[in-house]
Chain A
Amino acid sequence: DAKTTQPPSMDCAEGRAANLPCNHSTISGNEYVYWYRQIHSQGPQYIIHGLKNNETNEMASLIITEDRKSSTLILPHATLRDTAVYYCIVRVAVDMRFGAGTRLTVKP
């Protein structure tokens, strides 16, 4: 799996968009970008994934650059319950490797 780099922590104001960046400059052509989050000490939760195109679901949007070397997870209207550690993972196989992630704190 390609290595990912994420900022260790970010803050966001409640109701504003949270933009979480991820660098994956060594990603290969068949590797997908996945985002998970972990709220406190609960099990990680799937958010979204993509290969080349931008993706959107009910939780978030994923923007992948044209060269696929980086991506951004967007939470359009962050709430206090979105405070969590967000993991960016690139993978092609079912196996998964988690990095340190970004600790997002949403503040009132």
Chain B
Amino acid sequence: EAQVTQNPRYLITVTGKKLTVTCSQNMNHEYMSWYRQDPGLGLRQIYYSMNVEVTDKGDVPEGYKVSRKEKRNFPLILESPSPNQTSLYFCASSPIPLLADLLEQYFGPGTRLTVT
């Protein structure tokens, strides 16, 4: 089954304790992205990657790191989490076709992170 998986789905942690949220897709997609969703602010892009070893900042990259060593994996790293990073996080992937048509993004189930 084609899917994007995220782990963990739920995480409660304390300020300053490094954590990694994993994201994996089995569709051989070039493009992967991380979003955070907060009440009243909608979905905001954190980082994205157009291919292996190619990453770029989205709208809200501060406090986050990513890596793309393999095509299928795109982990999100919080080196020193703070309470303002409490949020619902989504990973997404998409192929990059030659034409702009059908740029459908597939989203993971989400990771609910609470930083105390």
Classify the interface of chain A: helix, strand, loop or mixed.
Answer: loop
Known: A42-B110, A43-B107, A96-B105. 20 other contacts (CB 8 A): A32-B100, A41-B88, A41-B110, A41-B112, A43-B90, A43-B92, A43-B109, A43-B110, A44-B92, A44-B105, A46-B105, A49-B101, A49-B103, A91-B100, A94-B50, A96-B103, A98-B35, A98-B43, A99-B42, A101-B42
Q: Which residues of B contact A (CB under 8 A)?
A: 4, 31, 33, 35, 37, 42-45, 48, 50, 59, 88, 90, 92, 94, 96, 100-110, 112
Known: A32-B100, A42-B110, A94-B50. A100 touches B42 (CB 8 A): yes
Query: Nearest chain B CB to A27's CB is how many angstroms away?
Result: 13
Task: For chain A, residues 53 to 108, give those with C-beta under 8 angstroms from any C-beta of chain B.
Answer: 87, 91-101
Pick the 9 closest A-B CB pairs, nearest first.
A43-B107, A98-B43, A46-B104, A94-B31, A44-B107, A94-B103, A100-B42, A92-B100, A43-B90
User: Which residue of chain B has its CB nearest to the CB of A100?
Assistant: B42
Which residues from B are CB-within-8-Å of A87? 43
Classify the interface of chain B: helix, strand, loop or mixed.
Answer: strand
